[in-house]
Structure 1
Amino acid sequence: MTLYFLQAFIYLLAAVIAVPLAKRAGLGSVLGYLIAGVLIGPVLGLVGQETNTIQHFAEFGVVMMLFLVGLELEPKSLWAMRFRLLGLGGLQVVLTAAAGAGVAWWLGITWQTALAIGLILALSSTAIVLQTLNEKGLAKTEGGRNAFSVLLFQDIAVIPMLALIPLLALPELMGSGGGEAEHGALSIVAPLPGWAHALVVVTAIGAVIGGGFYLMPPLFRYVISAGLREVFTATALMMVIGIAALMGLVNLSPALGAFLGGVVLANSEFKHELEANIEPFKGLLLGLFFITVGAGINFGVLVSEWLTVLSVGVAVILIKGVVLLALAVIFRIRGSNRWLFALSLGQAGEFGFVLLTYSVNNHVIPTDLAQVLSLIVAFTMFLTPLLFIAYDRWVLPRYQSAPDAPREADAIDEYAPVIVAGVGRFGQVVCRLLRASNVPIVALDHEIEQIELSRKIRIKSYFGDATRSDLLETAGINEARLLIVAIDDPDRAVALVTHVKHHYPRVWVLARAFDRGHGYRLREAGADDVISETYHSALELGGHALTAMGVHPMRARQMTWAFIDNERASEKELFEAWKEIDGSARFSPHYGELFMQLEETLSRVMQQEWHEPERDDVPLWTPPEREA
């Protein structure tokens, strides 16, 4: 037992030291785990033959990863990005896999092994690319969004790849000790005839889908009623392990079952709780898996095959880059975004290690070739930070320095019930409040600095002029419930409100006004609710001033409420008087008379005797009715 504790301590210590250092160096956590494995394995020799045994256990982290991927695939989100997901992502995987398989076959490798190699090298590193895009604030750019679509398709494509690889098994490798097929150890379908085998498989998949819809929700509710968080965690793990075991019994990929289970529960009310409970286990097991990959690297192979690793690794990046650039042209990804898209996806990915291990276990790739391919995959991943540095230093400055080159609006493929036009100092506060309340939003602004700042604080923002009708349609104004107008130009704000209320009268428009006159213009344009940007902050400061002068805080609050009520009582009459004002005049005698009457009424209200507020004084509120 002491030996197991010591080995576990070595693995964890290596991760604790290497991963934070790798992230600080911009290499990402996956490369940090690989470096940790290399250090404790080939370099220091602290771990040995137990690495292969631990790797089989750690592969369950891949099952959990695909379950979490399935949880994120809500049908509405997938439908919104269907063209880039299927077109861009599908073509990238097919073309890159075909190119890789063709080169491998040309080099004399059997077509089954060549096809597996092509599939492995077609994948990119989801962990490294998404982390780097988020850190650099590039995730919401056109290039970043398209890269995400391709990565998402690749994650989904792993499922059919895992199902295809066992069909490519080579008889000559089955006796070479390349590994044992995982699913052959315990199978309930092995002795069955073909028709019965197919029936059992369909039944198992139906059980996963039906159980996710009808059995898991009441089970989770029963567990939650116990009030024990650890039991919910145990239930979540039991579900994923049970699905994986069921798939293994019918000779299917456990990852396929976990993915289906995640998709079924994507719209469940337990989605976020499941993610929170499974994520730590997934991260730890995946990290352990990558450490074992690093520890299993054969330095003797690296020394003897370094030229092959270097040349093939560079060739992989170049071939993938050419394919990605061609797709960027076809799908009209322009400017620096085209290069961001191509450079960010040029490497092989962490799923390559998974498919390599799976291919060896299923007698598709020989062990010695798998060792070389593992080094090539790791080498391309190590080069990823250099590709992003090349983008920052050489590509981006070239496009930013182009004279009078207007930036095109970002592609918007996400919809939300609330659209916020303008994410400046006013709009950001609104967005933060809505986001904290879990209200989905899409924010638009034509100032790139504001967009980049908003993305840094994780506000879903897109570059573009909200007053453009085509951009509003792309943002989903047809389906939106609210439009919040917080742009800094008074005239453009009025024009936006006029356009929306004319073409989309069902949308409720809330607008920020700079002053009273601007508020009247917005109301005349059709805004349903108008708030002056300085009104409530001035009242708040005035209340503090009253308190500083000795007024009781509750009395000061009552006085500000009375001020608001008095203003609202006269609001309609003042608005009608304002509409009578000549366009060339800023004031009229009638409006001035009404305004003075308002001030006199306000003065009388402030002099009234103060009394403690009763419960009935608190205004009642009923939520707005939702449309069916």
Structure 2
Amino acid sequence: MAFSLENGGFSDALVILGAAGLVIPAFARFRISPVIGFILVGLLVGPAGLGALVPRYSLLYHVTISDPHSIEPFAEFGIILLLFSIGLELSFKRLWAMRTLVFGVGAAELLISGLIIGVVLHFIGQAWSGAVGLGLALALSSTALVLPIAGTQSASGRAAFAMLLFEDLALVPIIFLLGALAPNATDEGWSNLVNVLIRGGITIAVLFIGGRLVLPRLFAQAARTKSPELFLAASLLVVIIASLATAAAGLSPIVGALIAGLLIAETEYRAEVEVMTGPFKGLALGVFLITVGMRLDLRLVALNWELLLVAILGVMLVKAAVTTALVKLTGARTGTAAETGVMMASPSETTLIVMGVASAAGLILPSTASFWTTVTAIGLTITPLLAKAGQTIARNIERRTDALPPEAEVTAEGPGTVIIGFGRVGRTVADMLQMHGKKFIAIEADIDAVNAARRDNYPIIFGDVSRSELVDRLNLGRADALILTMDEPVLSVNLTRRVRGWVPAIPIIARARDWNHAAELYKAGATDAVPETLESSLQLSEAVLVDLGVAMGPVIASIHEKRDQMRKAIQQAAELDREPKLRRTRVGEAAPEA
């Protein structure tokens, strides 16, 4: 079968793949979210951009999207894969623990925001039925954009996820509600809603039970073949079947995708599935963002910019205020609540779906739907900027709050052990010192890490150790030891050399990137330098030997012996590198006497 460049679908596919190949690396180079890049590509190549010039310049046909609606199914598939990946990050236990957030805060956020927006729209001339539809549509927030930015591990990410999850679950009832409110609707609209909820509940129960029984066996068989293609096919098959099942029951296919992810997350194949499906999710999400950009018409924006600005700001202020207040009521910190509120302020990709249903049902005029579609597209475009603004606002609030424990102080009797750098490595070291009752104090230059540590009651000081006045405050002459955990090789070597010159007897234990960095630290005066590659290889060796049946005692003894051998080798290399410099120094000193 021969492909022709006149084939619209083939031309569109080339444009999409080319956009992905250019946007992702280009925007990553400048540390800008590719979300904005994909939306700008959609604006550029869509019918309101270069696509409008195709009748005059036919060559532009090959670099524009000829039919925006032809790529919408790919965009929907991207949303499905996104919800599937979210399910992979969860577990039933974690989801159950979040039930109050999901069905309490999530429901309250959607209903209160929708009610306020709907009332305002009614008082400016929109009929009640249309105001309800628009209010609920605009109250939705973007799962596709917010979760990849916020994640599900941070406090703001967990709160956002709970609300977004409820919105995704509520999407189908909202659609049926709008159908029941349509001017030509009958009582069957309400009965259909009840029937869908019953069928959906039964379908979800069947998926849970069947998934628990079938999925472990399915993926075990796929894993035995050692074929990545078969494993990927099995993963996509599970997503498609679950999505089709919930769609057939009248629910949204994204509910099925989320359930599929949850079920696979309970198996031992979660990580492998996540790696396999990751590229598909990213590409399909990019297609969705391109379709968002195509909905923007800069000429209409220029003509109505004042109304659009008022509408966007009004929607965002209402949603940000309601979300912030509700998250704060759950006991979250003010900074976390504000960050969540700002991040959730813009409308959603599902807003477009709900407005389409409201327009088809006759609840709102096509012109009204077009105006709010533009508002939604602009809101989606600025979502990454809102996320950055939320982080900045939260950081400023945390700096000013009095609720954090006070900054640690170095006492006259000494700080105990000093830990410089308080990332994941520094925290682990601190936990081990606490476990054994050893006094310590930490220093970190990242204010977010400092605030997080202070909330957890770690004794920590905010500051940059590249400044000598801060190091002077640490009273290292009375310290028990100095531990350097920061991932800054040059600074750690310089600091080791400086401290060793001041305090010759203090033990200095430093994190090293590799053998060469460890040798540099030994030359600078470190007591111990621990290369990350050394420890990871020893841990891997320990796990292999134990799994092969070797007794734990001899394994631990051999690991310690090997560690000592490798450290001595690094120290000897450092000494050999140092000796020629010493000899050159002696020759230089002897020269004047000759």
Match of 2:285 in 1: 286
Scaled by the length of structure 1, the TM-score of the pair is 0.58
In the TM superposition, 1:226-237 aligns within 5 A as 226-237=225-236
2:36 counterpart (26, 31, 36): 31
AA aligned opposite 1:109: Q
The count of residues paired between Structure 1 and Structure 2 equals: 446
Deviations 1:98-117 (Å, cap 9, x if unpaired)? Answer: 21222233333344433332
How much has 1:425 moved relative to structure 2?
A: 5.4
Corresponding residue for 2:50?
Answer: 44
When residues 276 and 315 of structure 1 are mapped into structure 2, their CA distance, relative to the original with a 3 A threshold, is: same
When residues 422 and 60 of structure 1 are mapped into structure 2, their CA distance, relative to the original with a 3 A threshold, is: farther
Q: 2:111 aligns with which of 94, 114, 124?
A: 94
Amino acid at match of 2:253: P
Deviations, residues 176-203 of structure 1 (Å, cap 9, x unaligned): xxxxxxxxxxxxxx9x999998876555
Partner of 1:124, secondary structure, is coil
Q: Which residue in 2 is equivalent to 1:275?
A: 274
| SS in structure 2 at match of 1:265 | helix
Structure 1 counterpart of 2:133: 116
Q: Residue 34 and residue 389 in structure 1: after superposition, are their counterparts in 2 closer, same or farther (change >3 A)?
A: closer
Structure 1 residues 40 and 174: CA distance shift in structure 2, 3 A: farther
Q: How far apart, in 2, do the equivalents of 1:195 and 1:616 lie?
A: 62
Is structure 2 residue 12 aligned with structure 1 residue 7? yes
Deviations 1:561-595 (A, max 9, x none): xxxxxxxxxxxxxxxxxxxxxxxxxxxxxxxxxxx
Equivalent residue, structure 1, for 2:314: 315
Task: Give the letter aligned to residue 234 of structure 1.
Answer: A
Partner of 1:464: 455
SS of equivalent to 2:132: helix
SS in 2 for 1:153: helix
1:147-546 aligned within 5 A:
148-169=158-179, 203-299=202-298, 301-327=300-326, 330-331=329-330, 333=332, 336-356=335-355, 367-384=366-383, 387=386, 396=395, 400=399, 408=404, 424=420, 428-429=424-425, 449=445, 452=448, 462-466=453-457
Q: Distance in 2 between matches of 1:323 and 1:616?
A: 59
On the 8 A contact 2:78/2:285 being kept in 1, the answer is: yes
Unaligned runs of 5+ in 1: 176-189, 411-420, 434-443, 456-460, 469-487, 494-531, 545-614, 623-628
Q: Distance in 2 between matches of 1:348 and 1:198?
A: 26
Q: Which moved more, 1:369-378 or 1:161-170?
A: 161-170
Q: Which amino acid aligns with 2:554?
A: P
The AA in structure 1 aligned to 2:230 is V
| Shift of residue 162, structure 1, vs aligned partner | 2.6
Find the aligned partners of 2:271 and 2:358 in 1 and give their Cα distance: 34
- Residues 334 and 40 from structure 1, CA distance in 2 versus in 1: closer, same or farther, beyond 3 angstroms? same
> What value does the CA root-mean-square deviation take over the aligned residues?
5.0
Q: 1:104 and 2:110 equivalent?
A: no
Distance 2:319 2:362 in 1: 27
AA in 2 matched with 1:43: G
Conservation of the 8 A alpha-carbon contact between 1:89 and 1:151: no
* Alpha-carbon distance between aligned partners in 2 of 1:286 and 1:72, rounded to the nearest angstrom: 18
Deviation for aligned residue 1:154: 1.4
Q: Distance in 2 between matches of 1:205 and 1:535?
A: 53
Aligned-pair identity (%):
25
Deviation at 1:214, TM superposition (A): 0.6
Deviation at 1:48, TM superposition (A): 5.4
Q: Which structure dedicates a bigger proportion of its chain to helix?
A: 2
TM-aligned CA deviation for residue 394 of structure 1: 7.8
Deviations 1:196-237 (A, max 9, x none): 988765553333222211112111111211111101111111
Do 2:422 and 2:443's aligned partners in 1 also have CA atoms closer than 8 Å? no
CA distance in 2, matches of 1:286, 1:536: 39
1:355/1:374 CA distance change after superposition, 3 Å: same
Cα distance in 1 between the residues matched to 2:509 and 2:441? 21
Taking a change above 3 Å as real, the CA distance of residues 246 and 409 of structure 1, as seen in their structure-2 partners, is farther
Compute the displacement of 1:376 (Å).
0.8
Give the aligned residue type for 1:160.
A
Quote the Cα distance in structure 1 between the aligned partners of 2:329 and 2:285: 36
Contact 2:141 2:344 in 1 (8 A): yes
Note if contact 1:58-1:289 (Cα within 8 Å) is conserved in structure 2.
Answer: yes
TM-superposition CA deviations, 1:22-70 (whole Å, max 9, x none): 5666663333222111100111005456211321343122222222222
Q: Report whether the alignment pairs 1:16 with 2:21.
A: yes
Give the direction of change, closer, same or farther, for the CA distance of 1:220–1:298 in structure 2 (3 Å limit).
Answer: same
Inter-partner Cα distance in structure 2 for 1:273 and 1:430: 30
* Counterparts in 2 of 1:422 and 1:372: CA distance versus 1, 3 Å: farther
* 1:619 matched residue in structure 2: 554
Partner of 2:155: 145
Q: What is the alpha-carbon distance in structure 2 between the residues aligned to residue 447 and residue 88 of structure 1?
A: 37
The residue type equivalent to 1:289 in the other structure is F
Structure 1 pair 96/151, CA: closer, same or farther in 2 (3 Å)? farther
Change (3 A) 1:242 1:85: closer
Q: Given the superposition, is the C-alpha separation of residues 196 and 426 from structure 1 closer, same or farther in structure 2, using an over 3 Å criterion?
A: closer
Counterpart Cα distance in 1 of 2:278 and 2:18: 21
Contact 1:85–1:152 (Cα < 8 Å) also in 2: yes
Aligned to 2:90: 73
Deviations 1:316-344 (A, max 9, x none): 12222332343355345556555434333
Letter in 2 for 1:31: I
Q: Secondary structure at the match of 1:619?
A: helix
Native 8 Å contact 1:244 1:257 kept in 2: yes
Report if aligned partners of 1:101, 1:115 keep a CA contact under 8 Å in 2. yes
Distance 1:163 1:230 in 2: 37
Distance 2:109 2:115 in 1: 10
CA distance in 2, matches of 1:406, 1:339: 16
Q: Residues 38 and 194 from structure 1, CA distance in 2 versus in 1: closer, same or farther, beyond 3 angstroms?
A: closer
Q: CA 1:148–1:368 in structure 2 vs 1: closer, same or farther (change >3 Å)?
A: farther
Distance 1:193 1:83, change over 3 A: closer
In 2 relative to 1, CA 536–374 (structure 1 residues): closer, same or farther, beyond 3 Å?
A: closer
Of the structure 1 ranges 367-376 and 81-90, higher mean CA displacement relative to structure 2 is found in: 81-90
SS of 2:265's equivalent in the other structure is coil
Query: Quick check: 2:196–2:251 contact (8 Å CA) kept in 1?
Result: no
Counterpart Cα distance in 2 of 1:236 and 1:308: 46
Aligned AA for 1:449? Answer: A
